[in-house]
Chain A
Amino acid sequence: MIEVKSLTKVFRKPIRGRGVLGMLKTLFSRKYKEIRAVDDVSFDIGEGEIVGYIGSNGAGKSTTIKMMCGILTPTSGKVLVNGREPYVKRKVVAKEIGVVFGQKTQLWWDIPLIESFKVLKEIYQVSEEDYKSRMEFLSSVLGIDEFLTQPVRTLSLGQRMRADLAASMLHNPKILFLDEPTIGMDVLVKEKIRQAIHALNAKYHTTVVLTTHDMVDIENLCSRIIMIEKGKIIYDGPLGDIKHRFGNIKTLTLTIPANINPQEVKPYSEEVDLITEKDKVMLRFDADKVKLEDVVQYAFSNYQAIDMKISDISIEDVVKKILAQQEEEKHAKEI
């Protein structure tokens, strides 16, 4: 469905001085800095897969997505979507893909949602029956009929995202690219959007590529993840593997009273990492090996905690861990 072969995108930025004088100097300088936003990336995605394309901010996720949907032209390497290069055969490929950017809407700002849909129907040449049946299905999964006659500018973030998702599915694309589809939404709306993505994938067998920062999105939606850092792929494989590699890591953060020196707290066992800060104690452990309730109980009886928070591992942590592991492997080889 999608083939990406040693894809590279280099942005050339002039090296700028600071302040007004520095900016003036750059006008006459020919020095450029090369930023390799995406660096020799290759992967294949099959039909009907839901793939999480993840990485920290500025890792190159959006740039890759933009090349896959034909907005950007790669510096070298290529993307094949259904056998065609999207930036060369942009118009043909555009019919086969749907794209949602969490940060930018693709609907017209001033007009009622339904009018936007009518224009899109015309743009993608969707037949009347298809339009009706798809609208019915999309309304049922996304609940858009409650705000169909409102102008897009009056929609809330969650409503707008559902509207954007419906708009991107109107022509029944084979592939759906979702760039941060749940950004800035509350838990309930996030859940609704996830269910909708599942429903679309099940009904139309749509291939979905999504970028996200939310570990829950990944766990609920993706069977496979591709992880990118500084433009390079650092992991590509099933979600299960990565969980297996890093376990079901949870962090228990406790706020302790000021009169207790964090250095004096006793560790629970060897399997729980203890990290201490000024007035905080963090216990990091693998919830598959150590029981969460045991750790919580122990913590409360020993540390006189005034507040606590349990958090799952973040994408940034996973990236760090993978990089550290790869570094270790490299060292091991050198020795």
Chain B
Amino acid sequence: MHYVKLYFTCIKRSIISRLEYKKDTIISILSFLFSNACSLCSIYFILQAIPSLKGYSIAEVGFFYGFSMLPIALDHLFSDEFWLVAYRRVQLGDMDMHFLRPVPVIFQMFAETFQPDGFGEVIVGVTMMIVCGINLEATITFGAVFVLIIGAIFGAVIITSFKIIFSSLAFIFKRSGPLLQIIYNFTSYAKYPISIYPKFIRIILIFVLPFGLFVSLPINTLLYGSYNPYLLSLWIAGVAIIFFALSVFIWTRCEKRYESTGS
């Protein structure tokens, strides 16, 4: 309970920080609106140009793309601070203040920044899902909707876990940003149906870097009823929880290696 209250206090702090500079705030709101409008337009034009994609109808492709944005957006909302840890903060010895507070350092990282840009991505994603979803031929069942929600939320947990694991390596290497970037780029594999990849990559995307798990499989369940939605939900949530636990374990191990800087 203390942590829930503390989280909201910190988030409020992070928003106040973002609003502190008037002109910067106005510019970032405008650029936020502009970039989201652009991404909606470009997706619209792409979908117009391609009638169908390897057996997927245009509505299916759009729905797929829109849904694939959700886990990435949710991760973006809550865990943006880890990029700074990986690229800068450990190297500059800028983490001292967090080590002095009676709260887990990893919690403070989540509470340090709340990235409202993620909201835009959620809105764009959901809009696409609605627009394309109307034209889908599949019958929408409760189970399918359930597995989509689980896929979005726990998909974000999986992405965040990888972010935690690779940013905690900064405690050992001093800077792990480029490495984290490489791993994070694999999330773009989530944006396409898993059936388009060769078998070898498919196995990796389900069992090793499970970015193929939480988008493609729930959508196939919705469109073709390929899997039992509840078993699939359980599997996705299970994988996410295991990776998250692993990432917290690795982080707490690595944070002991923090060296700060001379002063």
Contact = CB atoms under 8 A, between A and B. Distances in A.
B104 A91 contact: yes
Given A94-B101, A106-B97, A66 B260 contact: yes
Contacts of B13: 108, 111, 115-116, 119
B230 interface: no
A312 interface: no
B23 interface: no
Interface of B: 2, 5-6, 9-10, 13, 16-17, 20-21, 93-94, 96-97, 99-104, 256-260, 262-263
Contacts of A69: 99-100
A138 B6 CA distance: 24
B102 A94 contact: yes
A123 B103 contact: yes
A71 B16 contact: no
Interface string A100-125: 01111010101100011011001111
A101 B9 contact: no
B262 A122 contact: no
B256 A87 contact: yes
Contacts of A179: 263
B260 to A, nearest CB: 6
B79 to A, nearest CB: 19
Contact of A103 (B17, B100, B263): B263
A123 B102 contact: yes
Contacts of A101: 96, 263
A94 B263 contact: no
A71 B20 contact: no
Contacts of A87: 256
B9 A119 contact: yes
B169 to A, nearest CB: 18
Nearest to B261: A104
A72 B17 CA distance: 29
Given A71-B100, A72-B259, A122 B5 contact: yes
A122 B257 CA distance: 28
17 contacts: A58-B262, A62-B263, A71-B96, A72-B258, A73-B257, A90-B99, A97-B100, A102-B263, A104-B93, A104-B96, A110-B17, A111-B13, A118-B9, A122-B6, A123-B102, A124-B102, A151-B20
Contacts of A66: 96, 260
* Residue from the set B2, B99, B260 with the largest chain A CB neighbour count within 10 Å: B99
B104 to A, nearest CB: 7
Given A87-B256, A122-B9, A123-B6, A70 B102 contact: no
Contacts of B257: 73
Contacts of B10: 119, 122
* Residue from the set B103, B257, B263 with the largest chain A CB neighbour count within 10 Å: B263
B85 to A, nearest CB: 15
Contacts of A123: 6, 101-103
Contacts of B97: 104, 106
A95 interface: yes
B259 A11 contact: yes
Contacts of A71: 96, 99-100, 258, 260
**Interface of chain A: mostly helix, strand, loop or mixed:** mixed
Interface string A61-91: 0100010011111000000000000010011
Contacts of A58: 262
Interface of A: 11, 58, 62, 66, 69-73, 87, 90-92, 94-95, 97, 99, 101-104, 106, 108, 110-111, 115-116, 118-119, 122-125, 151, 179-180
Contacts of B263: 62, 101-104, 179-180
Contacts of A11: 259
A177 B75 CA distance: 37
Contacts of B20: 110-111, 151
A119 B98 CA distance: 13
Contacts of B21: 110
* Residue from the set B2, B97, B100, B101 with the largest chain A CB neighbour count within 10 Å: B100
A186 B115 CA distance: 40
B2 A125 contact: yes
A123 B102 CA distance: 7
A71 B95 CA distance: 9
A90 B21 CA distance: 35
Closest 3 CB pairs of A and B: A94-B102, A106-B97, A110-B17
Nearest to A88: B256
Contacts of B260: 66, 71-72
B102 A91 contact: yes
A92 B102 contact: yes
Contacts of B96: 66, 71, 101, 104, 106
Given A62-B263, A72-B258, A125-B2, A111 B17 contact: yes
A91 B259 CA distance: 18
A69 B258 CA distance: 13
Contacts of A110: 16-17, 20-21
Given A104-B96, A111-B20, A119-B13, A91 B103 contact: yes
A122 B9 CA distance: 7
A71 B258 CA distance: 7
Given A110-B20, A180-B263, 18 more contacts: A58-B262, A66-B260, A70-B99, A71-B99, A71-B100, A72-B258, A72-B260, A73-B257, A104-B97, A106-B100, A111-B17, A111-B20, A115-B13, A119-B9, A122-B9, A123-B6, A124-B101, A125-B2
